[in-house]
Amino acid sequence: MKKQQKCYIYTRVSTSMQVDGYNLVAQKDELHKYADYQGMLIVGEYFDKDKSGKSVESRPQFQQILRDIETGKDNIDFRAICCC
């Protein structure tokens, strides 16, 4: 049996259009569906609300996910990052 890969998910919205349209809940739902389809186990969920996508320095949860990956906190296997 193939080992289930562990991953984190990260969501972010910054504008009222995103909040009303492709909001955090919708993003999280899509990421859960993708992880399930790929057979991945989500071991951490991170989100930033009202944070610009202009720079990663202004997103505290994004910085936290990078630290957690770097320190090997959950021994995640999947390290692709997709941001909106």
Reported as a single tens digit per residue, the pLDDT across 17-62 is 555 556 888 889 999 999 999 899 999 999 988 766 677 788 899 8
Predicted TM-score (pTM) of the model is 0.78
Q: Which of 18, 31, 9, 25 is nearest to 76 (CA)?
A: 9
Cα–Cα distance, 12 to 60 (Å, whole number): 11
Q: Residue 7's beta-bridge partner residues?
A: 42
Q: Which of 50, 55, 53 is nearest to 23 (CA)?
A: 50
Residue bearing tokens 């186990």: 41
Average pLDDT over residues 5-10: 92
